[in-house]
Structure formats: C-alpha cells, structure tokens
Amino acid sequence: MKEHKKEYRTDVGRGCTFENGAIPEESSARACPGCYKLGAYDWLSDIPEAQAGDIFEVRFKNTRKGYYRNASDLRLEVGDIVAVEASPGHDIGIVSMAGDMVAKQMRRTGFRSEGIEFKKIYRKAKAADIVKWQEAIALEHSTMIRSRVIAADLGLNMKIGDVEYQGDKMKAIFYYIADERVDFRELIKIFAEQFRIRIEMKQIGARQEAGRIGGIGSCGRELCCSTWMSGFVSVTTNSARFQEISLNPQKLAGQCGKLKCCLNYEVDTYIDARREFPKINAPLETMEGSYYLVKTDIFKKQLSFSSDPGSTVNIVTVPLRRVKEILSMNRRGVKPDTLLSAQDAAPREQLPDFKNVVGEESITRFDTGKSGRRDNRRRRDRRDDGEGRQSRGGSQPRGEQRADQSRGDQPRREPRGEGARKEQPRGEGQTREGQGDGQRPHRRNGGGRNRRRRGGGNSGGNGGGNSAAN
C-alpha cells in the first residue's frame, strides 16, 4: 500500500510546525522551542521543591499571552497545544510556562491576580481543532489587506498592522496604530458584513508593533521588545546626555522610530558615578590661561580640557582630584601655575606590551618568501659576473661591446673556474688598439711567456711597451 507523505509547514508568528496528512485525522502540530517571541527560560524546572500549580501561561500569535486555570486536572507540559476558553467560543494556544515560574512571571509583568477569575483550559487540541485552526490562520493575510483598503476608502487616519483570528474562526482581533482618536464605528459595521465574524479593535503603539513584527537591532541581536520585554518605560534624551552619547536621531532611534529602550539599561550606573563629579560651569583659570571642559570619563575619573573653547586642540587630561583642587583655588581667587601638578605630569611607567618576535602574527609573512630568494639569487649572479670581469682585466663598457658585435669582432670569452683568474702572458708587440674609436683593444701574445708583475704593469698608451718583453 502506498504511503502518503506528510506536509510540514511552520508558522513563525505562533512558533509551531503543522504536520498535515492525507486525511484530516492525521493532522497534528508541535511547538518549536525558541522560535517564538517573548520567550522565557524555566530555570526552576530541575528543582524538586518546585510545586506544580494549576495556573498556566498560554501564548498565541506573536506577543499575545494569557493566564488560564487547569480546571480539569490535565497533565500538561510546556509545548502542549491546548484549547482554552474565549468569548465567544474557544481559542487554540500553546503552553509556554508552568509551575512556580507562572507566579514569578505575573509579578514581573505586573499582573494582578487578586479578584480575577481565570479562564479555563478545556482540553488538549485534537486533530479537528488543528485543521480548523489552520483554516483560520490562512485567512489572516487576505483579511488584513482587505481591511486596509476599507479603512483608506473611509479616510480614517489609522494603520492596521496585523490581524489575528481566533482558533474557531468566530472572532478576529484587528491591531491598529493611530496618532489621534479614531471613530471606527462605521468601519466595524463594514468589517462584520464583509468577513462575517465578530470584530475586536485593539490599539497598540509603535513599540508594541515593533515587538510583534520582530527584527534585528543595531547590536546584531533580536529586538528586546520581541524577546523578553513585556513592559515599556518612557525613554528621553536625558538618558543619552547622562551617558555622553551624541544626540544623533538616526543612531538613537530604533526600528519603531522611537528612542531605543536600551538607553535606559545603564543610565542608573552613570547617574551614581556622576555624583562625585562637580558641576563645571566656568573654565579653569591657571597662570598659563583658561581651560574649557571637553570630555568627562566617568569610570576613569578623568576630565579633558582644551585651551580653545571652540575646538579640541591642546587637550589635557586631568584627574578628578586635581580638578577639585583648582576649583577650590579659583573660588578663593588663586590661580595655579599649571593645570597638571608635578605628580600628575610625571611620566608613567609603561607596562610591557606584547611583541611579535617570531612573526607568526604577520599576515604577509608568506608573501615575500619567493621574491626574497629570487632577489638574493640575482644579487649573487651579479657579484659573480663582476668578479669574473675583474679577473679578466676589467669590465668593458656596454657601448663598446655592442660596437664590436656590430663589426663582427666577437670578444674572446674565457672559461670560468680555476683558470679564469690566471693572467695570460703577453709577448712583444702587444698593444691596445681602438682606444680612440670606442673599440675594445685586441690582445696579441708575442714570443716569451712572461707574466705580468704585481707591482708594475703595462702602460696605458701605445707608446708604452711591455716592460717584461723589453
């Protein structure tokens, strides 16, 4: 019998994978750990004292989550797909947290459970629930596009960012962004006629929209609003001023168009460190001149001053202790001789730094190997040629050699080796010709095998003869 292959489809918004078989009864779904937004690590899972409660956290599309009570005492674990109570009908979600972590998560997010009746978890999702859930998910994109066209035709100043269908296709949540109050009563009527479902409009801000969409920040990691941040705190430019960050709107703004939430992460540390620093509203006065504050290094407790208020030339770094001394002296009307004291101006001993002695860290250490050997070979050949020419009585100019070759007189070449350095004997009548016309002088050996003495030699002109021959 031929087996039918299952089709797999992953829903990134809900963080699950659907497995569809040949018949609806073979359809199933399973959660993908780490593939959903606002995930949390259960660090109490290995503690035996952790008590299993009846309140579970269930997540839906993107960042929507809710807390539900396990009234039927079902054996549920993190990652189970369940059908939960909704108004009206039921919804399908995935269990994302259980046990003591639920109570801690509610305290962290500021959820108050006093006097609130939790909705119930009906059952684990069946195959029929999975099939109907997939049908509802398939309608979300087309519904969002159609709703945007309807809102634009009505002239409403709003943006519909996302649509989420309930698991039983009885209701849909329309998430929209608007800068001002919007009267969408007529819009809801048109939506109900067009889509034949119950409509719920939910307004969100720019930060919530960025968290629902997700993305990668300038730090190279996923956005904080889509990974772990559940509450948003207002961010002002004072956070950047305290940290001495350049007030560049393009660098300070995130993907939502607002100031980055991470500007508030370290601002408290900077505020605590700044308490030791005095307020410098005037330049420091010394006998050398006035110095103006340019930069403050909070953690090194150093301040940088410049002699020119309009530029950063002649910057001098002064310790915080010395700055406090100069400020107290200026209040008394006293000016110190120099900005730095003798103790601060003394050169500091530099610590030994790493030195690449072997040369293993050089990137170009293999590039010059062959060329270096080639250059050494060329130098050695030139040196050998020079020694051979000197042993034969001197080198010949290049112009003279070319003239001899053009006339057909080929110079005699002597073999290299032991006999190359022996002097040839000269006899009578040996002269040097061709000195005036640029030709190489011809050597003729006469009678007698006399060798040239080291002390004496042949005369340079035609008038001088061989002393040994005479």
Q: Is 8 exposed, middle or buried (0-12, 13-18, 19+ CB in 10 A)?
A: exposed
- C-alpha span between 453 and 399 (Å, rounded): 30
Q: How far is CA 125 from CA 27, 39, 84, 93, 341, in A?
A: 11, 22, 9, 9, 77
- Per-residue pLDDT of 240-291, as tens digits, reads 988 888 888 888 999 889 999 999 999 999 999 888 888 888 889 999 888 9
Q: How far is Cα 424 from Cα 451, in angstroms, rounded to an integer?
A: 7
CB 93 within 8 A of CB 76: no
374 pLDDT more than 80 = no
Q: What are phi and psi of 441, to 5 degrees?
A: -65, 140
Separation between Cα atoms, residue 307 and residue 289, nearest integer Å: 7
Rounded Cα distance between 299 and 407, Å, is: 87
Note the pLDDT of residue 457. 43
Q: What pLDDT does 468 receive?
A: 38
Q: Are 247 and 263 in contact (CB under 8 A)?
A: no
Q: With the C-alpha atoms ordered 139, 140, 145, 149, is the resulting torsion angle positive or negative?
A: positive
Distance CA 427, CA 446 (A): 3
Q: With 90 as the cut, is the pLDDT of residue 142 above it?
A: yes
Asked which of 8-17, 121-130, 322-331, 342-351 is least confident by mean pLDDT, the reply is: 342-351
H helix or E strand, kind and range, residue 272: helix 267-273
Q: How many beta carbons lie within 10 A of that of residue 365, not counting itself?
A: 11
- Neighbour tally for 239: CB within 10 Å: 22
DSSP summary character for residue 228: T
Q: What is the spatial distance between Cα 73 and Cα 438, in angstroms, rounded to a whole number? A: 118
Tokens of 417: 């080796």
pLDDT exceeds 70 at position 162? yes
Q: What is the pLDDT of residue 228?
A: 86
Pairwise CA distance, residues 395 & 414, whole Å: 13
Q: What is the pLDDT of residue 45?
A: 75
The letter for the amino acid at 96 is S
Model confidence over 410-442: pLDDT tens digits?
445 544 544 444 444 444 444 444 444 444 444
Q: Which residues pair with 91 in a beta bridge?
A: 84
Q: How high is the pLDDT of residue 391?
A: 53
User: Of 14-23, 174-183, 312-321, which has the strongest mean pLDDT?
Assistant: 174-183
Report pLDDT for 110. Answer: 83
pLDDT digits (tens, 9 = 90+) for 52-97: 678 999 999 988 999 999 988 888 989 999 999 998 899 999 999 9
Separation CA 202–CA 198 (nearest Å): 13
Between 124-138, 321-335, 379-393, the lowest mean confidence (pLDDT) is in 379-393
* Whole-number pLDDT of residue 340: 85
Mean pLDDT, the chain, whole residue set: 79
Q: Provide the whole-model pTM.
A: 0.63
Distance, in Å, from the CA atom of 335 to the CA atom of 314, rounded to the nearest integer, reads: 19
Contact of 452 with 458, CB cutoff 8 Å: yes
Lowest mean pLDDT: which of 138-152, 314-328, 443-457? 443-457
> How confident is residue 158, by pLDDT bands cut at 50, 70 and 90?
very high
Query: What φ, ψ does residue 354 adopt, rounded to 5°?
Result: -70, 135
pLDDT of res. 309: 84
Give residues with Cβ within 8 angstroms of 314, minimum separation 6: 306, 307, 308
Alpha-carbon span 107 to 110, nearest angstrom: 5
174: which strand partners?
163, 201
Q: What is the DSSP letter of 12?
A: T
**Cross-strand partners of 20:** 7
pLDDT (0 to 100) of residue 310: 80
Rounded-to-integer distance, Cα 158 and Cα 176, Å: 7
